[in-house]
Amino acid sequence: MSFGNSLIAVAALLLATGAARAAEVDEAAANAIMKKSGCFKCHSLTREKDAPSYKEIATKHKGKPDAEQKLYTHLTTNPKVKVDGKEETHESLKTKDEAAVRNVVGFILSQ
């Protein structure tokens, strides 16, 4: 296989892996937990409200190896966040199911 063909093969593999990962996200389940947890009161998919949009969050974390773990921790540990200059506690997702939380993380990162 030539160098050019090798690059094409690697690129195809990366695209397939990304597509498979996106296909693994159960959007309906993620939306249901996020709605139950009140996430959409402050966040939107594409526009900033009281908090950044999920698209903005995904862009910020794109390509970072620790993105999934950072979001998982953020969604499960009630961290302090700044809202309009005031510090508030960010609520955790209303589930203890690790797979469900990871699905929400995948959904956010797929935006």
pLDDT at position 84 = 82
Least confident of 10-14, 23-27, 53-57: 10-14
Answer positive or negative: Cα dihedral of 21, 66, 44, 31.
positive
Interval 80-101: pLDDT, tens: 998 888 999 999 999 999 999 9
Answer positive or negative: Cα dihedral of 70, 75, 78, 84.
positive
pLDDT at position 63 = 94
Go through the domains of the chain in sequence order and give each one's CATH number. 27-109 (1.10.760.10)
What's the pTM? 0.78
Q: Over 50: is that where the pLDDT of 51 sits?
A: yes
The average pLDDT across 59-85 equals 94
Average per-residue pLDDT in the chain?
Answer: 85
